[in-house]
Structure 1
Amino acid sequence: MDANQEERSNPFSMDEECTNCDLCERREQVVHGYGDVGAEFLFVGEMPSAGADETGVPFTGDQAGERFQDILYRLGLSESDPAAEEPVLENAFMTYLARCYHPERPPSDGEIMTCEPYLNAEIRMINPEIIVPVGERALTEIATEYTTRPASDIDIVDDHATTIRGRGFELVPMVHPENQTNEQTETFVEAFIDLLGTDYRQTKGRQGR
């Protein structure tokens, strides 16, 4: 983890009492990013699950979260048991498009736009090499904003565990763990291990890399 980092949870001190959209009416808490602020790998989902709403940590608190954390453990990006509510991550950061859980519906386009400054700030401050959009909605939003390809040309199943060139970094889409088959999980792990063995770093003036 970055030597100057004091907290893994919401390390950039983003607003934990945000009331900028209607999602705030049903949440338990705002779930901002979590992990290593010097990470080369940024994982972005659509919105917190009920489990993450309880723990306050992205991709934790339920079966899908455990599957996701197991993937990070197998990749050497986590030192923790997959069931840990506050995993010890190394070189990985986890976050969402929308920061609040709603038990009855996904976030609207307007709600995602309202949260966009949080994500943009995290991307700017972390400056990752690889962004992993987790799930179809995350892939669509990130591909629209950060690649030159039309989002309609990218499919979460067809492009799962492949590499897509972005603006200054690469995307590696992941089918959401809640929907992943065992085969898709193994495909992602194997593809990411192969990626780790390549010269994936871009020339972006990063220090200490």
Structure 2
Amino acid sequence: MMGSVSPIIRKLSIPEFTTNTPVLVDIYIAAMNYDKAIRDTRIEVWRRNSQNPGFTAVAALMDDQVVGVAYGFNGSPDHWWQHQLRRGLRQQGGPTEEEIHIIHNYFEVAEVHVQPGFQGHGIGRKLMHELLKDKQNTFAILSTPEVDDEANHAFSLYRSLGFTDLLRQFRFDGDQRPFAVLITALPLHDS
């Protein structure tokens, strides 16, 4: 359980991120309650993501223990995720002219995770602010699994930071769970 000490949030260099990726992926697996069998594959994917243009990573530390991680990079038409995004927009009748503008200048918030037991104490908010600070992109976009009535810490955080719906009940290729794809204008503001 968290004491009264506030976490230290700091940016990670690409070498720091790639060296510490196993620990960071363990936080992701715990936070998302995923099967540990995906660990090696996710480590590989995260390390590969660190080579994307605009890559930024931040970590939350409590007593020298990493308890949270967030990272992202500039959206690109070459990325799998943007192909998925375009497919979702087509399925809902778009992309509209505004949506075309959006998908040409966004920062993809790829991952935001806080270790269970540390969730609900503002660490995710601090990670998001540090991650998106000084971004030159017009928008930030992320996806999160759908939950009934948006009743979890993730949705509460994203809504409080001004994220609105871009796509709902969207299914990414290879994942049968429905996701919400959320967007906000940058710079980030608390609401």
Q: Which of the five TM-score ranges fits, normalised by the shorter chain?
A: 0.3 to 0.5
Q: Which has the higher helix share?
A: 2
Which TM-score applies when normalising by structure 1? 0.33
Per residue, is there more strand in 1 or in 2? 2
